[in-house]
Amino acid sequence: MENREIELGTVEEASVAVARLLAVTHATYERRAQLEHALQSRIAIEQAKGVVAERYGLDLDDAFQLIRRAARTNRMKLHDLVGAIKPGEPSPPELVAVVSDGESV
């Protein structure tokens, strides 16, 4: 039988390896959080598009264009306006103002 010895590294090498693993783990968690945020944002946008489409008789693309125009016109973040669009509640005034302007969608 062959005798194989395992060569152990130094404490410094182990510390470097652990630091690298921690950095990769941290980056992975950060990326996961970014993706989760993006998904939640996308879900909110899709829900708002559906509400606006139903409320104003638009297709989903036109509803998104209306929301985007209302956010830009009022210098709002899209996310903030989307958060204010809720089923069963009145449309936010920023959206109503753009709809009232009668611009084509």
Global pTM reads 0.71
Structure tokens at 61: 């693309």
- State CA 49 to chain mean position distance: 15
64 found inside a domain: yes
How many Å apart are CA 99 and CA 67, to the nearest integer? 10
6 found inside a domain: no
Q: Kindly report the CATH number assigned to the domain that includes residue 26.
A: 1.10.10.10
User: Which residues are CB-contacts of 62 (< 8 A; sequence separation ≥ 6)?
Assistant: 53, 105
Q: How many domains does the chain have?
A: 1
pLDDT tens for the chain, 105 residues: list them: 566 666 778 989 999 999 999 999 999 999 999 999 999 999 999 999 999 999 999 999 999 999 999 999 999 999 999 999 999 999 999 999 999 886 545
Domain span at residue 54 reads: 11-100
